[in-house]
Structure 1
Amino acid sequence: MKLIFRTIDTDKDKDTIINFRKDSFVVSFGTDAGLGDEHAYLQRMEERVRKFPDGQVIIEKDQEPIGQMELQIREYEGTEIGYVNLFYLIPEYRSKGLGKELVRYAENFFRQFNVSEYHLRVSPDNQRAISLYTNSGMVKIREENEKYPVWRMSKSLY
């Protein structure tokens, strides 16, 4: 299955990325209540697209958007790391092995910035995602709780 990863155009893709983000919250936390302001999200996305255009991508199959990734470089405990804000596939493309392609894309993106590891946070209830991440070599490093309890997972790239 040939997937295309293209940089998000916040004007053109606005409805798509908002809907994908809402669904990802529902899948992770059972509600989109903690989502926050859509306008603020779009502004953050515009800023991230400027800084990391290859990290803010719509995933397409046959010119249809089927997913989204948000990747960036940020500081964690004094070290620059890769960070996955969002891995997302629409329901009909989940559990079909495509997650591995998203992980491969993300790891190649992070290697361009020479970071030694990357992190993401996942709901402890999202067993399908945890299984993908664990099978990809990620390990749970701690539990965190901002709006919802999450696991912070990490993988060394070297």
Structure 2
Amino acid sequence: MDIQYKKIDPNSNFSRALAFRQDSFVCSFGSDEEFWKEVGEEGCTYRDKMEQRKDDEAWCYYHVWHAGRIIGQLEFRSFSDWDKLGYVHLFYLIPEYRGIGIFDQLHRFVEDRLIMAGCSGAVLSASKTNLPALKVYERHGWYWLGPNPRHAMLDFYRIDFN
């Protein structure tokens, strides 16, 4: 499938980025009850962070496109609290593109970018209840690293690049 990755332009595609972020929050926590506290009123905190980081090569915000349509989103950075490990904030696909093998391409894209940035692996935080995500992460080589002390429902997972 012909997938394209384009940096998110907060001036033209922010509402889509925010909606994808909100849906991923619901997938992780079962509701968006705490979502607005995290992203700020109308997503202003999230938008400000995206704007501040858009020219910083260590931060990556991409929309995933197929057939002229935005079908997903990737957010990651080439640093973390762990030495030489990047951090993946978001792998997201709209529902009709989940489970059909596209994640493999998204995963390879993120891995390639992090390797080019000098990372030997990556870490992400995933909800214990988001079983479809945990299954796909495990299939791609992610393994449990430990609990996330910031949220009881989240655990850290790690992958080492070969």
User: What range describes the TM-score normalised by the shorter chain of this pair?
Assistant: over 0.9
Q: 2:49 aligns with which of 44, 50, 69?
A: 44
Q: CA deviation at 1:146?
A: 2.2
State the match for 1:62 in structure 2: 67
What is the TM-score when the length of structure 1 is the normalising length?
0.93
- Percent of counterpart pairs with the same letter? 28
State the match for 1:90 in structure 2: 94
Q: Is the 8 A contact 2:76 2:87 kept in 1?
A: yes
Aligned residue identity for 2:94? I
> RMSD of the alignment, in Å?
1.5
Deviations 1:28-74 (A, max 9, x none): 11111222211010111122321138821000111100000001022
Deviations 1:75-117 (A, max 9, x none): 314x242110110001111111111111100100100111111
Q: Is the 8 A contact 2:4 2:66 kept in 1?
A: yes
Q: Is the 8 A contact 1:54 1:109 kept in 2?
A: no
Structure 1 runs (4+) greater than 4 angstroms displaced:
none
Give the match's secondary structure for 1:45.
helix
Unpaired runs of at least 5, structure 1: none
* Alignment coverage as a number of residue pairs: 157
Structure number with higher strand proportion: 1
What is the TM-score when the length of structure 2 is the normalising length?
0.91
State the match for 1:138 in structure 2: 142
